[in-house]
Each structure stands twice: as structure tokens, then as C-alpha cells.
Amino acid sequence: MIQIDALPAFTDNYIWLLQDTANQRCAVVDPGDAAPVLAWLERHPGWQLSDILVTHHHHDHVGGVEQLKAATGARVYGPAQEHIPGRDVALDDNASVRVLGLDFQIIAVPGHTLGHIAYYCDQPETPLLFCGDTLFAAGCGRLFEGTPEQMHHSLERLAALPAKTLVYCTHEYTLSNLRFAKAVEPQNPHIAQRFDDVTQLRAHNRITLPSTLALEKLTNPFLRTTETSVKEKLDERNGTINPTPSTVFAGLRAWKDAF
């Protein structure tokens, strides 16, 4: 049984901490800063950091990797197509890795960066997805390196995973993402409800993650590009006809960039 907690870092990052309590071993995902992880290890004597999973090369995801590796000897996994400091295992699409007894499948999700990968664990009851800055709660990552078509395809691959999959993304952006979602779909009751729920959580400084794919499909505009209401909203806004879900996605992303 693996317990998963978030270690906050910087202003809005989360470093996911996976804990194998029986063996007192743990792993972290995207440690942009070593300090919160080292502080946790200090509070938990006897625990060993065995693995570090990295989704992409941005500093807020890899900044703590080398210090943690030097301090603990942890093995570092990361995307093969990017420069990842201290990487021991280079991962390509469809690779599989076993971490703390969990089997993860690698899904290449280019868009935010070109080599970005996600880690998916197909556990029967609670499948897990660590998707970095690709799929956010009610949003998606900015396109720093890839094209809208690439990102749209990446999100389609993630959306095809089981609806009950728990989505562990790396930033607390949910509330601002939902403000945008409300602008795209003012009549969507699921978005309205989630906006209220998340407003409450944030008012108490609580985390809004993990999400589920089921909830994302109901409330995340970037997974709703085939909805007539989303397409029509964009057609109306841009004064053009968006012929495909991919062009709807591109229009949404450009709108959100300026929102």
C-alpha cells in the first residue's frame, strides 16, 4: 500500500511523495527544490528516498534532483529526449518502470515541452497518473516548445485512461483555471459546482489535488473540445469556424494565454 502526499514548493508547486510504509522507502516526483524533501526525511528517521521521477526539464521540476541524489543515492528517472540532471534511467514512450513495487507505464506527452513524459500506474482500484505540467486540474500546460496539435494529441492519450484515474499534476492552478473554464462554459453546472468547491478549499489554504479524469472530462475545457457549446463559444469569439477539435484546442489555449 502506497501513501501519496504533497510537499509544497516555491509558490504553487507540489512535489509528490510516494511512501511505502511497510519498507520505509519513498519516492518523489518532480523535486524542483530539495529542501522540502530533505526536511521530510529529517522528520522521518529510518526512511530511505529510493527513487526520483521527473516529467520534464523545467527548473521548478528538476532543481532539487542533484542535491537529493547526492544526499540519498536515489535513482533518477527522466525523459530520454530532454536534458535531466543526474538522470540514471532514460525513458521513452511506452517504457515501463517499477518503483516502490508499483508498475508505471511511460506516456510521451509533448506540448508543454517536447520531451515531456507522464507516469501511469494501472492499479485496479485507483490508477495513478503523474502528468507534470501537461494536464492540470481544469486546465493544461502552456505550449513552450510544442504545437497545439501535439498537446491536443497528448491530452487525448491521457483522457483515454480509465475515468477513475487519480490525476497528480504539479501546480496549484485549479482556481484560476476554473475562472477560465467558467468563461468558456458559463452554463456548465459541473464547472460552477467545482468552482464553489475549490474556492472553499483555497479559502482554507487546502490542496485541490489529486483530481480524477472523470471530473476533468466534466470541467476541463481542454478535454471538452468536442463539445458543441465549447466549439460554438470559440467560433463566436474568433469570428471563424473551428473545423476540428484540434483547432478548437488551439483557440482555447491562445485565449487562455491572454485571459
Residue 116 annotated as catalytic: no
Residues that contact Fe ion, how many (by CB under 5 A): 2
CA-CA distance, 69 to 171, in Å (whole number)?
23
Exactly one of 112, 122, 153, 196 is catalytic; which is it? 112
Q: Does 58 bind Zn ion (CB under 5 A)?
A: yes
Q: What is the DSSP string of 192-256?
A: HHHHHHHHHHHHTT-----EEHHHHHHH-GGG-TT-HHHHHHHHHHHTS---SHHHHHHHHHHHH
Q: What are the angstrom distances between the C-alpha of 1 and each of 25, 26, 125, 175, 187?
A: 12, 12, 12, 31, 41
Asked if residues 13 and 60 have their Cβ atoms less than 8 Å apart, the reply is yes
Is the separation of the CB atoms in 118 and 159 below 8 Å?
no
Amino acid identity for residue 228 in this structure: T
Binding track over 109-138 against Fe ion, x by CB under 5 A: ------------------------x-----
Among residues 20, 30, 51, 58, the one annotated as catalytic is 58
Told to check if 82 binds Fe ion by CB under 5 A, we report no
* CA nearest neighbour of 15 among 57, 70, 72, 53: 53
The one of Fe ion, Zn ion, none whose footprint includes residue 75, by CB under 5 to 8 A per kind, is none
Residues 158 and 118: their CA atoms lie apart, in Å, by: 9
Q: Is 57 annotated as belonging to a binding site?
A: no
Q: Is 116 in the site for Zn ion (CB under 5 A)?
A: no
Query: Near Zn ion by CB under 5 A, which window of 57-65, 77-85, 87-95, 224-232?
Result: 57-65
Distance of alpha carbon 84 from alpha carbon 56, whole angstroms: 8
Residue 56 among known ligand-binding residues: yes
Interactions with Zn ion, residue window 59-88 (CB under 5 A): none
Q: How far is the CB of 244 from Zn ion (least distance, A)?
A: 27
Q: Interface with Zn ion includes 133 (CB under 5 A)?
A: yes
Nearer to Fe ion, 29 or 230 (CB): 29
Based on the number of CB atoms within 10 Å of its own CB, is 239 exposed (0-12), middle (13-18) or buried (19 or more)? Answer: exposed
Q: Which of 57, 116, 152, 171 is catalytic?
A: 171
**Segment near Fe ion (CB under 5 A); pick from 53-61, 102-110, 203-211, 232-240:** 53-61
Residue 30: which of Fe ion, Zn ion, none does it interact with, CB under 5 to 8 A by kind?
none
Out of 20, 33, 51, 60, the residue judged to bind Fe ion by CB under 5 A: 60
Nearer to Fe ion, 33 or 133 (CB): 133
Stretch that binds Zn ion, among 56-64, 75-83, 85-93, 222-230 (CB under 5 A): 56-64
Q: How far apart are CA 38 and CA 88, in angstroms?
A: 20
Using only the alpha carbons of the chain, give its radius of gyration. Answer: 18
Q: Please, are residues 76 and 97 in contact by the beta-carbon 8 Å criterion?
A: no
* Active site annotation includes 133: yes
Which residue of the chain is nearest Zn ion when measured via CB? Answer: 58
Residues known to be catalytic: 56, 58, 60-61, 112, 133, 171
Residues within the interface to Zn ion (CB under 5 A): 58, 133
Residues within the interface to Fe ion (CB under 5 A): 60, 133
